[in-house]
Amino acid sequence: NAGVTQTPKFRVLKTGQSMTLLCAQDMNHEYMYWYRQDPGMGLRLIHYSVGEGTTAKGEVPDGYNVSRLKKQNFLLGLESAAPSQTSVYFCASSYLPGGNTEAFFGQGTRLTVV
Amino acid sequence: DAKTTQPPSMDCAEGRAANLPCNHSTISGNEYVYWYRQIHSQGPQYIIHGLKNNETNEMASLIITEDRKSSTLILPHATLRDTAVYYCIVRATLGNQFYFGTGTSLTVIP
């Protein structure tokens, strides 16, 4: 049981390049989330999904797009990377939408935009 | 989701209990209190959660005040491996998201 797996773990991009971060979970969870974490700060929610085929904006959605074509996968895309998007990105999933259920997190993707 | 307030940092001697406070004075009746920790920029790790009763598991205890405006996470016998940033989060019954603040950086001292 792998839990939440993020691919890749590290990446360096040039300004203007595009890339996609993949999050995969094998727990049959409906709810998935993408967060970013900047140095010395807590996690901030970028986008989330409440089920296959659905997505919604979080606190800091600008510059990112997401897709949830399959229940087990949640993709985060950067169409034109900017240095301000240098960050550590975490994916998470949970079985229920809130309240009495925990979220499970991946180990993060460290992205540097130069 | 309600906001939480935590001290930015705390120290604790190895082997002693670590008591991490959290203020959530605007919490509403359907919001749970969650605690996560993050060790050295790894993915956040779930510790414990509760609604109004005190809770205990193999990792920690959670004490929630009767008015639910504050809570305390207790690590009963802190070890060096408990050095981490601890996040207190409140989450509604139907809240889709976890909102993280800046947490408390706990340092366990030998």
Q: Could you please report the per-residue DSSP string of A28-95?
A: --SEEEEEEE-TT--EEEEEEESSTT--EE-SS-TT-EEE-SSTTEEEEEESS--GGG-EEEEEEEES
Mean pLDDT across the stretch A23-35? Answer: 94
**Is pLDDT of A7 > 90?**
yes
In percent, the amount of chain A with pLDDT more than 70 equals 96
Tell me, yes or no, if B9 comes closer than 8 A to chain A by beta carbon.
no
Q: What is the per-residue pLDDT across A73-94, written as a single tens digit (0 to 9) for each?
A: 999 999 999 999 999 999 999 9
**pLDDT attached to residue B96:** 62
Q: Cα–Cα distance between B26 and B69 in angstroms, integer?
A: 7
Q: What angle do CA B27, A30, A106 make, to 5 degrees?
A: 80
Q: Cα–Cα distance between B47 and A22 in angstroms, integer?
A: 26
- Partner-chain residue, chosen from B49, B91, B100, that has the shortest CB–CB distance to A43: B100
User: B28 pLDDT band (50/70/90 cuts)?
Assistant: confident
**Is pLDDT of A105 > 80?**
yes
Tokens of B69: 């405006």
The residue written with tokens 């809130």 in the block is A98
The residue written with tokens 């409906």 in the block is A30
Q: Cα–Cα distance between A110 and A33 in angstroms, integer?
A: 17
**pLDDT attached to residue A71:** 95
Mutation pick from A27, A41, A44, A102 vs chain B, by most beta carbons of B within 10 Å, is A102
* Residue length of chain A: 114
CA nearest A37 in B: which residue? B41
Q: Cα–Cα distance between A1 and A103 in angstroms, integer?
A: 16
Q: What is the per-residue pLDDT across B62-110, written as a single tens digit (0 to 9) for each?
A: 999 999 999 999 999 999 999 999 999 988 766 567 778 889 999 999 9
**Is pLDDT of A98 > 70?**
no
User: Which residues of chain B have a CB within 8 Å of the CB of A97?
Assistant: 94-96
- Partner-chain residue, chosen from B43, B51, B101, that has the shortest CB–CB distance to A90: B43
